[in-house]
Amino acid sequence: MAEDELDEGVLLRGEENVALRLKIERETRGWSTNALSDRLVEAGYEMNPSAVWRIENGKRRINLDEAIGFAEVLGVSLQNLVGPPQLAAKARAMELIDDVVRAFRETQRAGVSLTRARDALDAYLAEHPDIREEADVMVSNAMAEEAIANFAIGPYDAPSPGEYPDDEQRD
């Protein structure tokens, strides 16, 4: 991998990311392949300097145990080690990316939960059409109140689900 590829923002994958990251991390610390190998051995991961060089240069695959050892010795998370080098080297960026992905997953789960709840209510109301109008008004009002409450406190100040056990604590 040429260093100019990193500057161009090329997003690599898995083992290629690890290979480039190992070289970057090792050189940043001023370590030789021998020094990195020695640290791996001290940490309980058998690795000779030639193997380190071959991994860094894409001549040898890395197994999961070795990746864990490298992450431990380098003091980075395994996820950070396998991430795109231009982002992974910036630990705060990786943390924030993880936060965004986690929040996205939560919204996806919440959307599925809302759809299921709405489908169940619709199925029930199909069997009880005499209460549909009142139920729809109740749902609309409750959702509007939630939206107004969250808007009033701001999107970044909104409580987490379950933070308020009952509505009386919001007042």
Task: Report residue 101 as tokens.
Answer: 């992905």
105-156 tens-digit pLDDT: 999 999 999 999 999 999 999 999 999 999 999 999 999 998 888 877 665 5
Please state, as a whole number, how many other Cβ atoms lie within 10 Å of the Cβ of residue 34: 13
Distance, in Å, from the CA atom of 102 to the CA atom of 108, rounded to the nearest integer, reads 10
On the question of pLDDT at 3 being above 60, the answer is no
41-66 tens-digit pLDDT: 999 999 999 999 999 999 999 999 99
Task: Report residue 11 as tokens.
Answer: 């997003």
Return the DSSP state at 60: S
Distance, in Å, from the CA atom of 67 to the CA atom of 56, rounded to the nearest integer, reads 12
Element containing residue 99 per DSSP (H, E): helix 91-127
Distance, in Å, from the CA atom of 11 to the CA atom of 17, rounded to the nearest integer, reads 8
DSSP 42-98: HTT----HHHHHHHHTTSS---HHHHHHHHHHHT--HHHHHS-HHHHTSHHHHHHHH
This prediction's pTM? 0.50
